[in-house]
Amino acid sequence: MFSSPAQLNGFTVPPSVTGAASQTQSHSPSHAPPLNIQPPREQWGGKYEFLLSCLGYCVGLGNVWRFPYLCYRNGGGVFLIPYFIMLFFTGMPLFLMELSLGQYGAAGPITVWKCCPLLKGIGIGMLCVSTLVCLYYNVIIAWTFYYLGNSFQSPLPWSCDASANAKFCNTTNTTISLSPSEEFWNDRVLGVRSSKGLHDPGPVRWELALCLLAAWVIIFLCMLKGIRSSGKVVYVTATFPYFVLIVLIIRGATLEGSLQGVAFYLTPVWERLANAQVWNDAASQIFYSLGIGVGGLLSMASYNKFDNNVIRDTLVITIGNCTTSFFAGFAIFSILGHMAWRKGVPVEKVADTGPGLAFVAYPEALALLPGSVFWAILFFLMLFMLGVDTLVRIFNLDFSFFGHLQVSAAVSQQDGEWFYIGQCETQDFVSGPALLWLLPDGPIAGH
């Protein structure tokens, strides 16, 4: 006689297994091996946690330091045409597909491909890419942390009011072409003057090393309890940058010369639409800003309820992200326009992108404002929040992968915390060479 198969957590268990388990319990119940039952997957504490987490993941440093530069370089307001076309025809469909796959599979980027094991390599590729991104992205956070600490000095160390910068601000000295902010960035932050190139990284800069360690400690604390902790942190890290952007836009609108900067930002050049590079920049910015194909969206959506309205979330997050990029340009170029007016030069002479904008041009502009210390603290605190929020969501992909290993290998929660400590320390050690890749002439300086 064959007994009917048993059901365990939705899975069919053969009679031979249940019979063997019962016989083992009858003979030696004290030595029965525990069944490896997968615990229920965690879920977000509320729908706003998921929305803010995705918005914080998408709205990052690129919205502040890359989009405004691409906009003015590619025809001003004309760039918005290919940008929103790429959003509606490529960004939104792929964004919806990734959220739907994660929500339906309720698994990370590795195990979600159980529907098609042949594609499991895609998940492994996502994990590798996210690990590499974590290495260099936290270096940027370390730089921001360093600038934030130096912003509490009065006068600011990269302003002309500092006595050490007198030789750089002397207009009669034509032999020195560097500005105080450039000198601070190149010498005190990067120390590139003591290096001959990539083959000569120079000595360890202990101030930056400590900032990098502090950045990894903050990421570790945010991720210590998984989405239970990161889901609460997002209420601050995702909303605070919007408050700062609004304040900077209002302050920039009151400055002399701000309209010149805004006009430079939005003046349309219709001929640029015929240039294929404009469309290429629009597509790359959409992919870069929305974080499509990296696995972060898939991982975050896996913690949703099965019946969550994923179409609504896609519309809110994608439109909110692109709108943030557009309005960030007003905060950037209004103050850069004021700096150009103070110096008596065209706006294009002070406009920059990437680290050059965030750590050279904009700090120099903030140093010219009344109450420069307050504005510098506000700006670098915003950059710090943007970086931490994005990196926590990228790191969440690793958390999903380790959650799969934890179930498979029956690893305890305490061991999981030690795993994160080890992973953060390892990436902290490896992040050092990433400094070279983010120099102004480095491979990813424009991103």
Binding residues: 56, 59, 63, 289, 321, 386, 389
Contact in structure between 431 and 209 (CB atoms under 8 Å): no
Q: Are 380 and 151 in contact (CB under 8 A)?
A: yes
CB contact at 8 A, 107 and 298: no
The β-bridge partners of 8 are 11
Structure tokens at 420: 């994160």
φ/ψ region of 273 (left if φ > 0, alpha if ψ in -120 to 50, else beta) reads alpha
Q: What is the DSSP string of 7-41?
A: EETTEEE-HHHHHHHHHHHHH-GGGPPPP-PPPPP
Point out the annotated binding site for Na(+).
56, 59, 63, 289, 321, 386, 389
Q: Residues 6 or more apart from 208 whose CB is under 8 A from it?
A: 142, 143, 146, 189, 435
Q: Name the 3-class secondary structure at 283.
A: helix
Strand partners, 12: 7
Provide the CB-side half-sphere exposure for 289 (13 A, CA): 33
> CA 276, CA 282: separation in Å to the nearest integer?
10
H-helix segments, 344-447 = 355-356, 362-367, 372-409, 413-430, 434-437
Please tell me whether residue 371 adopts helix, strand or coil conformation.
coil
Question: CA-CA distance, 343 to 114, in Å (whole number)?
Answer: 61
